Amino acid sequence: MSLRNHLTIALLGCTLAACAQGRDAAPAAPVSLTGAGATFPYPLYRIWFAEYGQRTGVGINYFAVGSAEGLRLLGRGEADFGATDKPVNLPTAPPGSCARITVPMVRGPIAVAYNLPALGARLNFDAALLADIFSGRVREWNAPQIAALNRRVSLPPTPITVVHRGTGSGTSRAFGDFLSSSGRWKGSRLGDTSEVRWPIGIAAEGNAGVALEVKVTVGAIGYMELSYARQNRLSIGAVRNRDDRFLAPGAGLPDYPIIANTWLVIDPMHTKPDRGRPLVAFVRWALTDGADQARELEYLPISADSATRYDSLLDKIDFARCAPRS
């Protein structure tokens, strides 16, 4: 599928305008960049683009089409950058090489959200219970396995409807890894690809699609980046962590057990200098000035030391030598 065909799926158009300083001088003429990939960071990217849009003359169109598709489009030269939640190797390429650069942007919690009207209490889950639910071994909300973790809650006999992602997704991979930690999940393996094999359930497109399907289906349960659950006013479960505490995502982010990382991927082989330099300027801004917006949306920014490390790495990209000549 070409990038143009994704317009009706997830085009997020934002105008950027920034006064860059020093090494990140403002472009001499208006530049429009295109990115594609993960839906997980979209709520934050939307805010970043809007804020940065007051400072630059650069335009960015972002297609939230999932991690796997975003990297495919980057490889075909149809995007200036990719965004992925799938684990990637840290950059080890020597200075001046033309290898892809992967920059960690933020970390964020994956919420377990469900639709049980008038329940009146937050439900507790652990990895084993969620593995049983998403495998189809637990099919009603009043099942003994759920009751065992929620003894003071009056559970309805409502059938459970599992909702999951339908295409390659770093969010799915992170959630599948958490299920695998229980020893009761066979749909994916630790270190495997983002294509999780779901034995049951409804497939939805992106984090937004999962959230919407849960919202309109009584008895549904799904996993999604926290902002999507908040925006749709879904009930959010508490999940048992390694310290045997049940935590809801949010304020307890450092200890919450289902966390995904998201990266921005730059490929000097497919980016011309007049597009690469504005892209690098945006990444630098996001890792520093954008940290406050990340915290407000309950993402966790990378550390200052990591930001400095990647700032140095970005300095070494030689777009003029690596970029296509056409």
Contact 230, 113 (CB under 8 A): no
What is the predicted pLDDT for the residue at 14? Answer: 39
Rounded-to-integer distance, Cα 205 and Cα 10, Å: 10
This prediction's pTM: 0.82
Rounded-to-integer distance, Cα 208 and Cα 241, Å: 26
Residue 170 has pLDDT above 90, yes or no: no
Residue 3 has pLDDT above 50, yes or no: no
pLDDT in tens, 51-107: 887 788 778 889 999 888 999 999 888 999 999 987 665 555 555 678 888 999 999
Residue 245 has pLDDT above 70, yes or no: yes
Rounded-to-integer distance, Cα 295 and Cα 85, Å: 18
Taken in order 47, 53, 58, 63, is the CA torsion positive or negative?
positive
Give the start-end residues of each E strand in the chain: 11-15, 31-37, 58-64, 81-84, 101-114, 124-125, 161-165, 202-204, 220-225, 235-236, 238-240, 246-247, 259-266, 300-301
Q: Say which range, 33-37, 188-192, 217-221, 258-262, has the weakest mean pLDDT.
A: 188-192
pLDDT in tens, 272-317: 888 899 999 999 999 999 999 999 999 999 988 988 888 888 888 8
β-partners of residue 163 are: 202, 222
Q: Within 10 A of 118 (CB to CB), how many other CB atoms are there?
A: 5
pLDDT in tens, 183-200: 999 865 444 445 688 999
Rounded-to-integer distance, Cα 315 and Cα 95, Å: 9
CA neighbours closer than 13 Å in the CB half-sphere of residue 62: 28
Rounded-to-integer distance, Cα 161 and Cα 286, Å: 38
What is the predicted pLDDT for the residue at 252? Answer: 55
pLDDT in tens, 138-169: 999 999 999 999 999 999 999 999 999 987 78
Residue 165, token pair as written in the block: 């992602």
Higher pLDDT, 307 or 31: 307
What is the predicted pLDDT for the residue at 56? Answer: 80
What is the predicted pLDDT for the residue at 12? Answer: 38
Neighbour-count burial of 108, counting CB atoms closer than 10 A to its CB (0-12 exposed, 13-18 middle, 19+ buried):
buried
The model's confidence at residue 251, banded by pLDDT at 50, 70 and 90, is low
Residue 260, token pair as written in the block: 């995904």
Element (H, E) at 174: helix 170-180
3-state secondary structure 24-38: CCCCCCCEEEEEEEC
What is the predicted pLDDT for the residue at 284? Answer: 94
